[in-house]
Amino acid sequence: MSLHLLLGVIFFKEPDKVVKWAVDEGLWDSLSPLEQHIFRVPISDLSPDEKKRKQQTMQSNMLIWRIEGLLTLLWGMGLVEKLELPVERFTNQQVKAYEKEEELPFDMMVTYERINALNWICGLIGEWDD
């Protein structure tokens, strides 16, 4: 749920409504410290222009790649029937292709975030924001 709400805080034109909904539903304490930091921006004392700048900065931040794990988490809960590409295992051959800037049949960041989500589902990492 927090990843879905994160999309709203970063991309919705009224992110303060997303934050209010999360608070009203009692989800605030379930957010990681990093997520809480992001959710505070729309309800902060910053000027509207500064809030918008921060939101735009988050749209190009590496953090949004975490959202790629959302589909994998939904799949892990049985709410998504199948995952589309990437289907190949992340191997040294793929790393070398990336380093040589060769074209890959999939997006490496999507692959990374899916692996991260699967590791979290399996208990191989303790905290989502590690």
Helix H or strand E encompassing 7: helix 2-11
Question: What is the pLDDT at residue 64?
Answer: 63
Question: What is the pLDDT at residue 45?
Answer: 95
Task: Give me the residues of the chain with pLDDT under 50, please.
Answer: 87-92, 94
Closest Cα to residue 32, out of 61, 3, 10? 3
Closest Cα to residue 8, out of 76, 67, 62? 67
Question: What is the pLDDT at residue 70?
Answer: 76
Q: How far apart are CA 70 and CA 66, in angstroms?
A: 7
Question: What is the pLDDT at residue 39?
Answer: 92
Cβ-contact 33, 129 below 8 angstroms: yes
